[in-house]
Chain A
Amino acid sequence: SAVISQKPSRDICQRGTSLTIQCQVDSQVTMMFWYRQQPGQSLTLIATANQGSEATYESGFVIDKFPISRPNLTFSTLTVSNMSPEDSSIYLCSVSGGDSSGANVLTFGAGSRLTVL
């Protein structure tokens, strides 16, 4: 399975600032996803990062708040803009890879823990 490097692993940010999270994959992948995991909660899909086109956002998430770039098949960034304490979460990058059964298995990065003061 793919190996994902995500950085920063954690950061403490001031209210009103923006932070960009990077996700690097060791192989070319078609689909990359960004998830948010709020404290003590499950994972919620933010958007699907598409190479060569705009990201596809899930309900409740907008491009102005979470702009995403996908310049090539191994790299993506997620920016959390104009942060507030409610944005304090773990943000996870993941990629999809089919296995021998064809299952849509996700591989995750280690996550970026953001704390907004």
Chain B
Amino acid sequence: AQTVTQSQPEMSVQEAETVTLSCTYDTSESNYYLFWYKQPPSRQMILVIRQEAYKQQNATENRFSVNFQKAAKSFSLKISDSQLGDTAMYFCAFDQISGAGSYQLTFGKGTKLSVIP
């Protein structure tokens, strides 16, 4: 079974600054997907960014980028130029590519990020 660990229950960052959220995972799979989801106070879960394990290049989406270290099983999220709208719970998630467990994401416990004006 896969596990996802987010060691930072809460973080805060000043507006316009950069913040990094940590995520580690454990799996015996060699091919899988990793995701960061955002859950604002409104509760709607939104996909922020995804990474395919077989790609060495780190994924980027505008102000969001990841640092994917496959050997270390680490998948951190960097938010640049933080904005007030980035205030939310951030969940790291794992999905195996094939087999009985695919499409059934395993989520970490989340990191509550507060952006301070």
**Interface size of B as a range:** 20 to 34
B47 within 8 A of A: yes
Of A43, A48, A113, which one neighbours B91 at CB under 8 angstroms? A43
Secondary structure of the A side of the interface? strand
* B66 shortest CB reach to chain A, Å: 13
Given contacts A31-B103, A96-B103, A104-B103, A42 and B108 within 8 Å (CB-CB): yes
Q: Which residue of B lies closest to A1 (CB)?
A: B47
Given contacts A42-B91, A90-B43, A110-B44, contact A104 B102 (CB under 8 A): yes
Q: Is the interface of B mostly helix, strand, loop or mixed?
A: loop
Tell me the complex Cα distance, A33–B97, Å. 17
- A103 contacts B104, C-beta separation under 8 Å: no
Chain A residues with CB under 8 Å of B47's CB are 105-107
Chain B residue at smallest Cβ distance from A44: B107
| CB-based contact A105/B50 at 8 Å | yes
**Minimum CB distance partner of A107 in chain B:** B47
Docked-complex contact B91 and A110, CB < 8 angstroms: no
The residues of B that contact A104 with a CB separation of less than 8 Å are 33, 95, 97, 102-103, 105
- Going nearest first, the 4 A-B pairs with the smallest beta carbon separation are A108-B45, A42-B107, A42-B109, A43-B107
26 A-B pairs within 8 Å (CB atoms) are namely A31-B103, A33-B103, A33-B104, A42-B91, A42-B107, A42-B108, A42-B109, A43-B91, A45-B105, A48-B103, A90-B43, A92-B45, A94-B45, A99-B50, A101-B52, A103-B35, A103-B95, A104-B97, A104-B102, A104-B103, A106-B45, A108-B46, A110-B43, A110-B44, A111-B43, A111-B44
